[in-house]
Chain A
Amino acid sequence: GAVVSQHPSWVICKSGTSVKIECRSLDFQATTMFWYRQFPKQSLMLMATSNEGSKATYEQGVEKDKFLINHASLTLSTLTVTSAHPEDSSFYICSALPRKTLPEQYFGPGTRLTVT
C-alpha cells in the first residue's frame, strides 16, 4: 500500500512552452501533497505544499506564477511549469501525506524535466 505515482517519468520540452506533471496517490487519500526539486547530487528542496481544495503554499524564492500547483482532489496534485527555461531543467519529486496517518510522507518516483 501507500503508492504514489508521477507522470510523466521524464519529459523534454522547448523553451517557452509549458509542461504539466501529475502526482497521484493510488491507494490512499492525501490531504497534503508536497513538491520538491532536486539538482544532481544535491538534497531535496521543498518548492510548495499543496492542500486539497485550497491554494498551495510556496517556499521563499519559488515563483508561484511559474510553478502552478493544483490539488483538485484527494488523490491528485499537478505541477505546471509555465514558460519553461533551460534553468528549470531538474528532477521534480512529489510526496503525499495520508489523511489518517502521520507522519510518513510517501514519495513518487520523480519526473526528470529537460528544457531545450
Chain B
Amino acid sequence: AQTVTQSQPEMSVQEAETVTLSCTYDTSENNYYLFWYKQPPSRQMILVIRQEAYKQQNATENRFSVNFQKAAKSFSLKISDSQLGDTAMYFCAFMNPKGAGNMLTFGGGTRLMVKP
C-alpha cells in the first residue's frame, strides 16, 4: 500500500516571501501521479498542481512549482510571492492509475499561514 507523509504540520511565511512544503511517499510502482491540493477555510478542495511520474520536468503553475525527486520519492511544493489568500491546508496526494478505482492517498496535511 502507498503511504504519503507530510512532515510539517504547520508552517508560516511572510507575505511576498517563498515557502516550501515537503512531501514524501512510498510506492513500488513506476508510473503514478502526484498532486498538491489546497483546502482554504471554506473547505473546498482545490487542485494546485499535478505531476506525472514519467515526466522528468517539474510541473509549474504560476507561483506554484514542485521539486519532484523520483528516486528519493520526494514531492515538495514551492509557493513564490506568497499571498494572504494562500493561507490554507495543503495536502499532498498520490494516485496509482493501475490501482483499484484510481483512488487518492492523502498525506496528513500542512497548515500554511501567510502573515501580512
Q: Which residue of B has the minimal Cβ distance to A91?
A: B43
Complex partner residue of B109 from A43, A46, A103, CB under 8 angstroms:
A43
Of the four ranges (under 10, 10 to 19, 20 to 34, 35 or more), the interface on chain B belongs to: 20 to 34
Contact pattern, A 82-116, Cβ under 8 Å of B = 1, otherwise 0: 00000000010101010000111101011000000
Complex partner residue of B43 from A46, A102, A109, CB under 8 angstroms:
A109
- The total of interchain contacts (Cβ-Cβ below 8 angstroms) comes to 52
Given A42-B108, A43-B109, A104-B50, A110-B101 contact (CB < 8 Å):
no
CB distance from A48 to the nearest CB of B (A): 10
Interchain CB contact under 8 A, A97 and B45:
no
A contact patch SS = strand
Interchain CB contact under 8 A, A46 and B100:
no
User: Is A57's beta carbon under 8 Å from chain B?
Assistant: yes
Complex: how many Å from CA A109 to CA B101?
21
User: Is A67's beta carbon under 8 Å from chain B?
Assistant: no
Interchain CB contact under 8 A, B42 and A103:
no
Q: Which residue of A has the minimal Cβ distance to B95?
A: A103
User: Is B28's beta carbon under 8 Å from chain A?
Assistant: no
Interchain CB contact under 8 A, A49 and B101:
yes
Interchain CB contact under 8 A, A32 and B101:
yes
Contact pattern, A 32-45, Cβ under 8 Å of B = 1, otherwise 0: 10100010011110
Complex: how many Å from CA A95 to CA B103?
10
Question: Which chain B positions have C-beta within 8 A of A42?
Answer: 108-109
Complex: how many Å from CA A96 to CA B113?
29
Interchain CB contact under 8 A, B43 and A110:
yes
Complex: how many Å from CA A97 to CA B35?
15
Complex: how many Å from CA A69 to CA B102?
18
Complex: how many Å from CA A44 to CA B4?
12
> What are 7 of the A-B contact pairs (CB < 8 Å)?
A32-B102, A42-B108, A43-B107, A44-B106, A49-B100, A103-B33, A110-B43
